[in-house]
Structure 1
């Protein structure tokens, strides 16, 4: 399996380009880092890779075909702020099972306690909520995970536990991961290679 961005660019209306001619190739089982300064368009790029937004030019392909517009999205995106990614009117069990059914072993690995399933989002901490978002994103049909500053807001112990669980599942299921982060030590520790995303100048996968 392969996720590709081919010469994609984005701008708002007729304003200056945020970025242009961006290319990326991510294969199954690969862990790739993406770094760049604030405001260079990394999150916009991530949203396009997961099908949340459409590029102004270029295209995003999954196995040489456009991303599916219906059904379960095989490219999942986890944001930095979990409270913005959950329905506050749903209990956590319903939020979790949006991605499919999960066994107790997986929930234990990622650190989700059974009693949390009965709670509402506002009854959990940011770290607890993010565990649910990560677990939901790694549903049975997920082929690629886009982690956009996924653990930046968490303490070091929680961050390590979540990444340990994610990498374990990714290895077992051959999931490709794009790690977007400002934290160079994290990128160095997790990733097979790194892409430098520097703003509206043209740039390619490295």
Structure 2
């Protein structure tokens, strides 16, 4: 069953609509790209689909039902800026284990060093912290992953390593993905289809 946004609309306060009557679906096992200029609402759409924000109009459905409001959400979002997604006062071990407890081999597949786990977020680089955020989002109950410019701040080699690891998990579990990016070459390489926000 798909993750669906039906007739979605959003605006901040009484300001202009970022978008209206926007439909988007991602099926299990499908990788969908979301492209478009800055300021068109790509990040906001990702937040709506993951349940972080509530649409002004329309609805988000998973298996034909609203997203769960408690417990582990099967739709996970990885933000572009990892420092905004974690509590700076918690050690990385606790942050990583919030939704599930990945074993050492899983962490190593994403290049997470054991010594990082006893540190605070501010003691890691942005790229190191993003690895932690990606693994945290890939719990066994995750059915859809929304990657919002997930590797934009990383060098090309690290990007390739992380995407390879994520795609291995997605293929193994038939996990659906929405990839938000300005990099059209990345979307062309990863995605089954691309949706343009004009």
Task: Give TM class, smaller chain.
Answer: over 0.9
What is the aligned partner in structure 2 of residue 194 from structure 1? 194
Number of the residue aligned with 2:136:
136
Alignment partners' CA distance in 1, 2:14 and 2:101: 44
Partner of 1:7: helix, strand, or coil? Answer: strand
Q: 1-side partners of 2:38 and 2:64: how far apart?
A: 31
Q: Structure 1 residue 79 and structure 2 residue 62: aligned? A: no
Shift of residue 181, structure 1, vs aligned partner: 0.1
CA distance in 1, matches of 2:8, 2:80: 23
Alignment of 1:3-82 (within 5 A): 3-82=3-82
Aligned residues of 1:99 and 1:138 also touching (Cα < 8 A): no
Distance 1:140 1:168 in 2: 14
Superposition deviation, residue 99 in structure 1: 2.1
**Cα RMSD after superposing both structures:** 0.8
Aligned-partner SS, 1:73: coil
**TM-score, normalization by structure 2:** 0.98
CA drift at 1:14: 2.6
Equivalent residue, structure 2, for 1:173: 173
The residue aligned with 1:94 is 94
Report deviation, 1:118.
Answer: 1.1
Post-superposition offset of 1:15: 2.1
Q: Which runs of 4+ in 1 moved over 3 A?
A: none
Q: Is the 8 A contact 1:7 1:20 kept in 2?
A: yes
C-alpha displacement at 1:101, in angstroms?
1.1
Deviations along 1:142-200, one digit per CA (max 9) or x if unpaired, are 110000001001111111111111000111111100000000110011000000011xx
Task: Report deviation, 1:37.
Answer: 0.3
C-alpha distance after superposition, 1:121-161 (max 9, x if no partner): 11111110000000000011111000000100111111111
Total equivalences in the alignment: 198
Match of 1:8, SS state, is strand
- Unaligned 5+ runs, structure 2: none
Aligned position for 2:2: 2
